[in-house]
Every structure is written in structure tokens, then in C-alpha cells.
Structure 1
Amino acid sequence: MHRLSSTALSFKLARILQLHAIRRCVHHRGLISSASRRSPGEGTPGVAENVSLGIDSEKSANEKGKQKEGAEQVSITKQEESPVPLLQRPLGVRDRPTSQSKTWADIRDEILDHEKRLEKRKYLVKEATRGYFTDLNATRRHGGKTWIAPKVMIREDKALYFPDVAGSDLKSKADAHTTSLCVGKVSVVAILSSRISELQTANFVKPTLDQFANHPSFRFVQVNLQENLLKSLLVSMFISGIRKTIPERYWETYIISSQRMDYLREDIGMTNRHVAYVYLLDEQCRVRWAGCADPMAQEIEALRVCTGVLLKRYSAASNKP
């Protein structure tokens, strides 16, 4: 009996020591805290702080978002309230246009021209910062109008050339160039790219066509410009529908073009792809007047008056011996 009780006692003592060792190990790892217990009303500081910080950060994010939206609305409002400026510079390019295709020598010269390479780089940098819907959003401000046409013509010694735009005419789908059509004529050239631009052009040129359409030295040229490949294909499929909307007398001077105008848009002021651009050219294809987007009454009258002045000057110069 004494041996059994001693064995049982030693076993019990070993069990107590084992439990004590486990308790010390657990306490050392921090799973059991020796600190006093918190009252039920107290929460875990870390959780409370995290929740508080989360609410504060959410509030601050909402406030920043509202401030940003407010700033954008103020910016748009200011741009809408600010008046559209007058055209400040002659539009066009310095090189005389030609309907002849470029030779390999011309292409080589363009590639090796340092200034032209710099211009292309500037254009690429500018385009990289433009959004896909930039032009569409710009129509919210003044209908996409970026400048007001002058009341008088651009001086002859300051005027620049209108670049050659190639395509096919509406009459027989033959090759057509704006340069071939406009040289030796006083021409009104309209760039169309959408239904809106067609309506804007009609408003621009109606009084001018009513007065000068039958003049032998006058020509009205329309360029349906579709740089997007898909749109270009759709337009080419519906040429018969276009013929129904255009008077037959203008089929020969109606050009359907898919020419890329990327490096020429800034030169001729054609910065928005969704609105109309109307140019008055003299007999040497120099831009003497230009208008864009929804026409004002003064712009419509200015186009009519300037066209009449150019026709008188050209007729007088042609009749000289």
C-alpha cells in the first residue's frame, strides 16, 4: 500500500508540474494576459481606433471628391461663361499645295527634315494627353466653337495655303483633289464629318450660295472627311443615299475622303472632329476667311460679303489686258 500511494503521489506531482510548465509556456507567448479584465462597456482600443480611422478616411475621401467635382463644375461654368475669342492668326500651311503624289525624294526629305520631325513629336505628345471623348466633351462649351470668324478677309500678304485633300467625287467615284477643284476659282470649302456638321455648313453657306452659286468664277466644294476606317467604309456603302441629299450640280465637287489630317489640324484650326469648318479660298488656294461650328449671324454675313469682294477682285484682274 505504501508503495502504491507513493507511486500515485509521484504521478500526481508530475502531472501538476506538467500543467504548470504548459501554463508558463502559454503565458510567455502572450495567449493569456495577466492584466486585469476590462469592463463589458470597454471595447478593444485597436478595433475602435481602426473603425474611427475608417470613418474619418471615408469622410475625407467624400469631401475631397465633392471638392473635386465642385472645382470641375466651376471650371466648366467659367469656360461656358467666357466669350469665344476672335480668330487670332491666319490659317493654313506655308507650302503651296499640289495634287501630284509625293515622290520618294519628297518622302525622304520629309523624313530627314529636323523641323518636321520636331513638329510630329510635339503632335504625338499632345495627342497622348488627349482623352478619347475630348472633342465630344468640347461640344458642351459653345457647341464646340473655339473661335469667331473675322468680319473682314485675311490680308493677301499674310494668307497661307489650304492643304490638298484627296478622295473620290460623288459623281463617278473618280479621284478628286481640293487643289485641282479650287485653283483658278474663288471657292468655299466645307469640311464635314457628322450630321451636325452638315447642318452647320448649310446654315453657313445658304446666303452665299443663293447669291453666287451661278457665278462662273465661284465653286462650292464639300469634303466628307472620315478618318476612322469603319466610318469610311460605312460612308462608301451609302453613297447612293448621299446622292439623294446633295443637289446633282454639286456631285462633282463633293469629295469623300479618308485622308489622315493629324499633322494638319492645328494648322487649319480644325481642332474638333464633330463640328463643321468652312474656308473661303482665293484663286491661289489661300485661306482668306474661315468659320467653324454653329454660325453666328455676323459670320454668315461676313462669308457672303467676303466672297463677293474676292469675286469682284478676281474678275477685275482677269479682265485686265
Structure 2
Amino acid sequence: MKAPSPLCLHSLRLLAFPCSRESTSYLQRRCYASIPDKPPPPPTSHGPPTLRNPAIQRPPPRPGSYLRSKRDDDEEFTPQPLSRPIGMPQPPQPGENSGLDQRTLRQKRDDFVDYDKHLAKRASMKQQIIKPYFRDWSNMRFHKGKVFVANELLFRARHALFFPNFFGRTLNKGAGAALETAGDGYGGLGRDTCEAMAGKVSVVSVVSNAWAQGQVDTFCGAKENAKLVEVLEGAKDVAQRVEINLEDNLLKWWVLRLFGLARLRRERSLEQQGRYFLVRRGVSDEMKEGIGLLNDKGGYVYLVDGEHKIRWAGSAIATETEKASMIAGLQRLISKAKGEKSTKGQKPRLEEAVAEVVGVEQKTAAAGGV
């Protein structure tokens, strides 16, 4: 038996499901989707450029100076004077912030299987990834990178916070000849800043590039601030200059070691070379936030007393008011340090005089008793 033809099937469908002529005509024709019209090309003044449309031209590249220059749509930022002490709550200790992993194999294994520590490390890496690479350079357009204005008066000693310890190598070649086999990460030349600053008033500068060094020179340079150099020269026994150069980029670190160390040594005496620290690791974000180092591309200057407390701080390019307040604060700290030193020297003499007087009185009493 042959299969029914399509016409027979259609007739049977009409008998089973009677409908109007319009619907019958609709069933007899097939509808196809129409081809859409080609969309018009986007205008040349709007929309992202594409390589497929040569009519759209790419905008000319903008130099970095444009990104660093201040624009009308920027939010206004005005640095404010320090209203409270800055620094770390705990005093620095030798060996801190060396950046070396001192954990044992068992501790490393325990940390590797600790999920909470994985989450903490992931959050830290996320913060580093989302930070724009040129953010600090872009922020230099606001007052030349000035983060805060220096305090006019010294912070009181009982309220001041501590300057953290930085661990790095110095420019002095013979400083670590006996420790070259030590695993400090600097070939045995690693030193602690807290040991170099102990017991002395220190003018500490922190830089990370030539731009920051130029800003620090406005505070401490021999041409820009000859009065500061004169004060330091007159109080070498209680005051000193300490320089810290931060460089966490490994490539720049080796370029500095290969081509920059000789120049830095020529510009400084042998004594100053022992107080110039090159630091590559161990500087955490907490340390930077604690001492106000919020822009890595700028320069910072601190007055630190003999107890490692930050008594004064300045950033970026110095003003005449900041220079005057820094010199006045330094002279006050030097006078106090000299007074304490003289008091310590007179204390044994005073004790000897009291003992001599007591001995004479005892001899007199003994003679009278006889």
C-alpha cells in the first residue's frame, strides 16, 4: 500500500480541523526570515577604534607629562599639617624587617596547608594587582607629590611614635668583611638602621628614585639648606645624617648596584657611606602607612631622637616655613642630647664627691668617739 500524498494529507486535515480561508492560505505558504540590513558604521568621533574600519583613526598617544599634569576634572587635594604623631607603636629591634624567610620546613608545611593563610595571601596579592602601576607618578601632579605638611613644633617625646627598623646594605665596602658568609641576603653587608641611629639625633631621609632625591635635597642639600649642614657639623658627637634608598624592583636593584654605587661613594665620605642604606626587601605596607610614606615616588625627611622616636616629618619639596621648623627642632633635640650627655658624665663625679664627704664624716665621728 502506497503512502498518502501531501495533497491527501492536507485535505484530511481540512476535514478534521475546519478553518477560514485566510488561515488556509497562511498554511499553504512558508515564511522565511528576511536578511537584516547591514548596520551603518559607527561615527568617526565616537566609539572605540577598530582595525577593520580604516576610516576610524586612533587618537594620538598622550605623553606621561599629560597624565601627571593637573586637569580641570581632578578632585582638589590640599595637603594638611600633621596633627598627630606618626610612626610605629613598638620600638625597633635589630634583625626586624629583614625580608628573609626564617621558618623551618615544618612551619612552611603547616602554613602551606592552612586555608586561612591562603585567603590572607590572596587578599594581599589582590591589593597589589589592583594597584595601578603609574598611580604614584600620576599623583605627583598634586602639589608635586606632597602628602602632608611638616609640623611646626616637635611632637612631645611621651606621645611620639617609633621609627621602624630598615635592614639593608651600606656603601661601606669593609663594613661586613667578617660576615660575608652570613645569609642576610646582602652578601654579609646587611646592617640595621636602629643600631646606626641608637643614642643620636638623626636626620633621616627616605628616597626611591632621582626625583625623590631632588625633593630631599630641598630639605637637606648643602646648597638649598646650608644652615642644616652647619648645625650637623657643629654637633657631630650627638647628631648625624642617615639616608635610606628603597628599591624593591629586582632589575633596578641590579642596575643600581652595577652603575650607581661608585657615584654614590664618590659623593660621600667614608663615615657617611656607613650611614647610607640600600634596602630591597622587608618594607611592608603597614610600615609605609605608619610613617606616612604614602607615595613611593616622593621624598621624605624625619627628625628621630636617640630613642628612635619621630619628632618631626616632612615630605616632597620643602617650603621656607618647613626648613625653619626643621632647623629649630633639630637644634632643640641637639641641646637636649648634649644636656643629657653632660649629666651622664657628671653623675660619676657627683657620686665620688658624696662618697668622699660621707667618708670624712665617718672618720670624724670615729675620732670623736675615741
Choose the corresponding residue for 1:176, options 191, 206, 231: 191
Amino acid in structure 1 at the alignment position of 2:228: T
1:287 lines up with 2:282 in the alignment: no
Amino acid in structure 2 at the alignment position of 1:213: E
Mapped partners of 2:161, 2:262: distance in 1 = 36
1:143 lines up with 2:163 in the alignment: no
Give the equivalent residue in structure 1 for 2:273: 251
Give the equivalent residue in structure 2 for 1:192: 207
Mapped partners of 1:133, 1:91: distance in 2 = 26
Q: Give deviations 1:228-287, integer Å, cap 9, x for gaps.
A: 111111111131122123344411111111123223111111111111111110000111
Mapped partners of 1:218, 1:90: distance in 2 = 21
Shift, 1:28, TM fit: 2.5
Mapped partners of 1:94, 1:150: distance in 2 = 19
Mapped partners of 1:31, 1:244: distance in 2 = 86
Conserved 8 A contact 1:165-1:259 = no
Mapped partners of 1:120, 1:88: distance in 2 = 33
Identity of paired residues, percent? Answer: 23
1:316 lines up with 2:331 in the alignment: no
Amino acid in structure 1 at the alignment position of 2:213: E
Give the equivalent residue in structure 2 for 1:92: 87
Unaligned segments of structure 2, at least 5 residues: 1-24, 49-69, 112-117, 177-189, 348-370
> What stretches of structure 1 move > 3 A for 4+ residues in a row?
29-33, 58-62, 72-75, 100-105, 117-129
Mapped partners of 1:89, 1:261: distance in 2 = 23
Conserved 8 A contact 1:279-1:291 = yes
Shift, 1:118, TM fit: 11
Q: Give deviations 1:189-236, integer Å, cap 9, x for gaps.
A: 111211111122122023312222341100100011111111111111
Amino acid in structure 2 at the alignment position of 1:260: G
Structure-2 change in CA distance of 1:166 and 1:237 (3 Å): same
Q: Give deviations 1:110-145, integer Å, cap 9, x for gaps.
A: x9xxxxx99989866654542111111111111111
Mapped partners of 1:226, 1:150: distance in 2 = 28
Give the equivalent residue in structure 2 for 1:213: 233
Bigger share in helix: 1
Conserved 8 A contact 2:166-2:282 = no
Amino acid in structure 2 at the alignment position of 1:156: A
Structure-2 change in CA distance of 1:104 and 1:184 (3 Å): farther
Mapped partners of 1:221, 1:32: distance in 2 = 80
Amino acid in structure 2 at the alignment position of 1:309: R
Shift, 1:31, TM fit: 6.7
Amino acid in structure 1 at the alignment position of 2:267: T
Q: CA RMSD in A?
A: 3.6
Choose the corresponding residue for 2:299, options 276, 281, 289: 276
Shift, 1:167, TM fit: 1.1
Mapped partners of 2:139, 2:32: distance in 1 = 64
Structure-2 change in CA distance of 1:146 and 1:319 (3 Å): same
Conserved 8 A contact 1:227-1:260 = no
Structure-2 change in CA distance of 1:284 and 1:147 (3 Å): same
**How do 1:35-114 residues align onto structure 2 when only pairs under 5 Å count?**
47=37, 51=40, 73-76=71-74, 78-79=75-76, 82-100=77-95
Conserved 8 A contact 2:167-2:282 = no
Shift, 1:170, TM fit: 0.8
Choose the corresponding residue for 1:231, options 219, 238, 252: 252
Structure-2 change in CA distance of 1:141 and 1:319 (3 Å): same
Conserved 8 A contact 2:95-2:167 = no
Give the equivalent residue in structure 1 for 2:264: 242
Mapped partners of 2:212, 2:33: distance in 1 = 78
Aligned-partner SS, 1:188: strand
Give the equivalent residue in structure 1 for 2:4: none
Structure-2 change in CA distance of 1:305 and 1:32 (3 Å): closer
Mapped partners of 2:93, 2:131: distance in 1 = 31
Mapped partners of 2:162, 2:103: distance in 1 = 23
Give the equivalent residue in structure 1 for 2:157: 156
Q: Give deviations 1:57-106, integer Å, cap 9, x for gaps.
A: x98869xxxxxxxxx94441x42xx432112331111111111368769x
Aligned-partner SS, 1:222: strand
Conserved 8 A contact 2:161-2:309 = yes
Mapped partners of 1:234, 1:130: distance in 2 = 25
